């Protein structure tokens, strides 16, 4: 590389969700990031277990046969709610 050419700026540090970590917090993120990631993984396992239990408990009435059915229903509900909140929707509550 020619000495007169400037080096490209370093890529910003990003968190696990892809958000840029401000420079003032980079050292904290590098220090505590692994701890936060482990906690997030633990929460994910607990939520997955909980949702699987809910799907199993609801499978008796035929509503949810699997965790996937439960998640699909929840996603469908969330999409319907989001659509009803769109600008111009007759269901939108102001």
Q: Is residue 9, in this structure, part of any structural domain at all?
A: no
Q: In total, how many domains does the chain have? A: 1
Q: Is residue 11, in this structure, part of any structural domain at all?
A: no
Q: Is residue 34, in this structure, part of any structural domain at all?
A: yes
Average pLDDT of the segment spanning 8-21: 86
Q: Is residue 18, in this structure, part of any structural domain at all?
A: no
- The more confident residue out of 91 and 45 is 45
* H-state helical runs in the chain: 26-58, 67-84
Question: What is the C-alpha separation between 13 and 70, in angstroms, rounded?
Answer: 36
Q: Is residue 91, in this structure, part of any structural domain at all?
A: no
Owning domain of residue 58: 23-84
Can you list the pairs that 34-43 forms with residues at least 24 positions away whose Cβ atoms lie under 8 Å?
40/16
Q: Is residue 65, in this structure, part of any structural domain at all?
A: yes
33-77 pLDDT tens trace: 999 989 989 998 898 888 777 777 766 666 666 767 777 777 777
DSSP state of 86: S
Q: Is residue 15, in this structure, part of any structural domain at all?
A: no
Question: What is the pTM (predicted TM-score) of this model?
Answer: 0.50
3-class SS of residue 59: helix
């Amino acid at each position: 590389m020619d000495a007169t050419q400037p080096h490209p700026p370093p890529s910003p540090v990003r968190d696990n969700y892809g958000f840029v970590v401000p420079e003032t917090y980079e050292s904290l993120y590098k220090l505590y990031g692994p701890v936060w990631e482990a906690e997030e993984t633990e929460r994910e396992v607990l939520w997955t277990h909980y949702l699987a239990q809910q799907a199993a408990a609801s499978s008796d009435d035929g509503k949810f046969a699997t965790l996937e059915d439960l998640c699909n229903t929840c996603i469908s509900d969330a999409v319907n709610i989001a659509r009803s909140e769109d600008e111009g929707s007759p269901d939108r509550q102001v």
